[in-house]
Amino acid sequence: MSSTPTPTESSYDEKRQEAGLVGPLHVDLAAERRLVRKLDWRLLPCLALTYLLAFIDRTNAGNARVAGLATELRLGNWGFNIGTCLYYVMLIVCEIPAVMLVRKFGNRLVPLAVIAFGIITIGTGFIHNRSGFYAVKSLLGIAESFVLPGNSYIITQFYKRSEFSVRIGFFIFSAGYLSGAFGGLLASGFLHLSPMGPVHTWRHIFVWEGLITAGIGIILFFLYPSRPETTTMLTEEERKLTSLRISSASASASQFPSWLQVKEVVFNPVVLASTWFYIINNVTVTGMSVFTPTILALNYPHASAIRIQLLSVPPNACAWAFSVALIYLAMRYKMHGAAALVGALFTIAGYGTWLATDASYIKTRYTCLFLNTMGGCYGPIVLAWTVSNARNDSARALTAAMISGTGAIGSIVGSWSYFPTDANTGYHIGNTLNISLAVAVAAGIAALWVFEAQYNKRKGECAGFRYVL
C-alpha cells in the first residue's frame, strides 16, 4: 500500500510541477532541512578553510614587505606592484580552465591545489631576486585559480542555486577578512624566530605559512567530498536526497535554449551595474588586503616589523565580525540595498577622514583602516542581491559567474593603488582613488535601490516578478 503524502510534501510536489518537472517527488522537508544543516557544518568549513589559506598565501607578501622583502630582493619602486599584478592576471586567466579541470577530474583537485600553492609559498622563502619574485607570484596565481571557482562549483553540486549566494557570501568571502587577522598574527610570531640556515626574517613567513598550508591541504584531501552520488560524507539516503534536490533545482537550468537569453542576462542593466560595483569593491579590498602593512609602516614609522604585523590584526578581525553581521541582516530581512550602501558609506568615511588629517593624527588614521576594511563587505552583498533578483536558476548561475569573474579586474587596479613614490603624500593618490570610487558606488547603489523599489511599487500586489530589495 502506498503512503499518502503529507500536505507539506504535496505542496513541494506542486511547486515542482509548476516548474515543469514531471511526476511528483515526495520529500520529507524535515529531512531536507537536516541535510542542509549537515552540509553547512561538514562541507562549508572545508571550503572556507581553503579560501582562508589561499587568501593568507596571496597577501603574506605585504607582511613580508615591511620585514625587508622589497629591499633584499631589490624590487625598486614598482617591483612589488608588478609581482602583485602578475598574480591577479594569472588568477583571472586560469580560473575558467581550472574549474573545467575540477569538473573533469573531480573535487579533490581543489585540496591538491592547496598543497601546490603551499609548496610555492615555501619556495618563496628561498628566492633571491626580482625575477624569482615574479615567477612565484605567477605560479601562485595559477595554483590559487582552482579555489574560488572550484569551491563554487562544488557548492552547486550539493545546494540548490537559491541557496548558493548565501553560502558564498556568508561563509566563503568572510574568510578573506579572517585571513588578514590570522596573517598578521602568524607573521608577527614567525618574525620572532631565530635564523635557520638561509631562512631568516621575512623568509620565515613564507616557509612556515607554506608548510602549514601544505599540511592542511593534505588533510583536506581526505575530507573533501567527491560527487554527491558517491561521497562518503553522506549516508545513502542523504546522497539520494541531495541528487533529487539538485536535479529538481537544475531542471529549469537545463532549459536555457538560446544565446539571446544569455545576452539578456549579461547585458541586463541591473547585472551590469552590479558588476561595476563589484569591480570597484575589489579595487578597495585588494588595496587594503595587500597594502595594509605598508600603510601601517607609514603611519607608525618607528614601529618594528613585528608591531606592524600585530597592528594589522584588529582592523581585519573587526571587519570579519562586521561583514558576517551585515551579510546576515541583509539576507535575513531582504535589505541588500541598504546593507550594501552602509558598506560603501563606511568606505567613504574612512578614506575621507584619512585625507582630511595629516600624519600627526596617528590614532585617527588607524581608525580609518577599520572603516575602510569593514566597508569592503559590500561586495558579497551586491553579489547576493543581484543573484537573488535573477529570474530563474540559469540566470542566477550566469549572473554569479559574470559578477565574480569580471569583478576580478578590480584586483588588478587595486594592485597599483599604492606605490612607494606616493608615500611622502600619505598615499594621497591611492586614497583619493578609493574615495572617488566609493562615492560613485554609493550613488549607484542608492539609485539601483530606488529603481527597484519604484518598480515594485508600480507592480503593487499584482502577480509576477518583483525585486528583492
Of the candidate ranges 91-105, 174-188, 283-297, the one whose mean pLDDT is the lowest: 174-188
Band of residue 408 on the pLDDT scale cut at 50, 70, 90: confident
Percent of the chain with pLDDT over 90: 46
User: Is 3 domain-assigned?
Assistant: no
Q: Are residues 453 and 319 in the same domain?
A: yes
Q: Are residues 233 and 304 in the same domain?
A: no
Q: Are residues 80 and 207 in the same domain?
A: yes
Highest mean pLDDT pick, 32-46, 247-261, 322-336:
32-46
Q: Are residues 297 and 245 in the same domain?
A: no
Average pLDDT over residues 186-211: 93
- Extract the C-alpha cell encoding 77: 619602486
Q: Are residues 300 and 267 in the same domain?
A: yes
Of residues 388 and 49, the one with the higher pLDDT is 49
- C-alpha 187/C-alpha 443 separation (Å) is 38
Band of residue 182 on the pLDDT scale cut at 50, 70, 90: confident
User: Is 469 domain-assigned?
Assistant: yes
User: Is 439 domain-assigned?
Assistant: yes
Q: Are residues 266 and 329 in the same domain?
A: yes
Residue 397 confidence (pLDDT): 66
User: Is 201 domain-assigned?
Assistant: yes
Band of residue 248 on the pLDDT scale cut at 50, 70, 90: low
User: Is 43 domain-assigned?
Assistant: yes
pLDDT tens digit sequence for 60-72: 999 999 999 999 9
**Dihedral Cα 100, 105, 106, 109, nearest 10 deg:** -80
Residue 464 DSSP symbol: S
Of the candidate ranges 96-110, 221-235, 400-414, the one whose mean pLDDT is the lowest: 400-414
Average pLDDT over residues 98-118: 93
User: Is 17 domain-assigned?
Assistant: no
Task: Specify the CATH number for the domain of residue 46.
Answer: 1.20.1250.20
Residue 307 confidence (pLDDT): 92
The total of structural domains in the chain comes to: 2
Question: By C-alpha distance, which of 347, 280, 62 is closest to 180?
Answer: 62
Q: Are residues 244 and 352 in the same domain?
A: no
Q: Are residues 276 and 388 in the same domain?
A: yes
Q: Could you give the 3-state DSSP secondary structure of residue 196?
A: strand
Question: In the listed set 250, 274, 301, which residue is the last one of a domain according to the structure?
Answer: 250
Highest mean pLDDT pick, 109-113, 166-170, 331-335:
109-113
Residue 8 confidence (pLDDT): 41
Distances in Å between the Cα of 323 and the Cα atoms of 170, 284, 381, 405 are 8, 15, 9, 21
Which residues have a Cβ under 8 Å from the Cβ of 408 and sit 6 or more positions away?
A: 88, 91, 92, 95, 282
Answer whether residue 25 shows pLDDT above 60.
no
Band of residue 133 on the pLDDT scale cut at 50, 70, 90: very high
Strand positions, DSSP E, 234-279? none
Average pLDDT of the residues of the chain: 85
Distances in Å between the Cα of 463 and the Cα atoms of 58, 205, 460 are 48, 58, 9
Answer whether residue 10 shows pLDDT above 70.
no
Question: In the listed set 211, 228, 250, which residue is the last one of a domain according to the structure?
Answer: 250
Task: Name 199's bridge partners.
Answer: 196
- Extract the C-alpha cell encoding 381: 552583498
Q: Are residues 464 and 409 in the same domain?
A: yes
Q: Are residues 319 and 434 in the same domain?
A: yes
User: Is 24 domain-assigned?
Assistant: no
Residue 6 confidence (pLDDT): 43
Band of residue 394 on the pLDDT scale cut at 50, 70, 90: low
Answer whether residue 42 shows pLDDT above 80.
yes
Residue 71 confidence (pLDDT): 93
Question: In the listed set 250, 269, 285, which residue is the last one of a domain according to the structure?
Answer: 250
Answer whether residue 126 shows pLDDT above 50.
yes
Residue 258 confidence (pLDDT): 58
Q: Are residues 273 and 210 in the same domain?
A: no
Q: Are residues 298 and 365 in the same domain?
A: yes
Domain that holds residue 300: 257-469
- C-alpha 270/C-alpha 261 separation (Å) is 15
User: Is 12 domain-assigned?
Assistant: no
